[in-house]
A and B are shown apart, each in its own frame.
Chain A
């Protein structure tokens, strides 16, 4: 049973436009959500997080929005750059359980 779902395996956008990556979850006990970025042949690297008590967190070109009632979060990248081409993973954790539950990832291609 997939508690964290990324329903779009891939996404393609033009350089300079907005990229929107989506993530849905089923466990209402999740209190932190994290986005990771992964390039081929490298390990994932942390990108941005959001607490369940917030609805938005912004870091430069990256903004994460959380809609708790819909159990949905999204990562916005504005403007998208070719170097953003990577696989993006959504992950979540609940309370004192430090384990992260991972989505399957969305492969983003930003075309020049």
Chain B
């Protein structure tokens, strides 16, 4: 595809339910990032995948959050036992990766998660 795609675009769930958010990066991009955008916290880094290396999970706010990237392409962010404070827009970004591509990230449109 031409850009990073994310699904669903909107997700409304009840407190305590699990949710899965999907990201399809730009073809050929080896680096993939998840960020969270909320009113109180701005844009926060969550997790980073680069090729087959171990992911950088340093931004995940709690052990209820996890992510995986299958086949070096599609990524899924899972939030277990959702809480109201998890309500935010979850953004995925990809880049070519490696030193030359560091920082030039292309963002998807995001998934707006609302936890009731």
A-B complex is real: no
Residues of B near any A CB (own CB < 8 A):
none
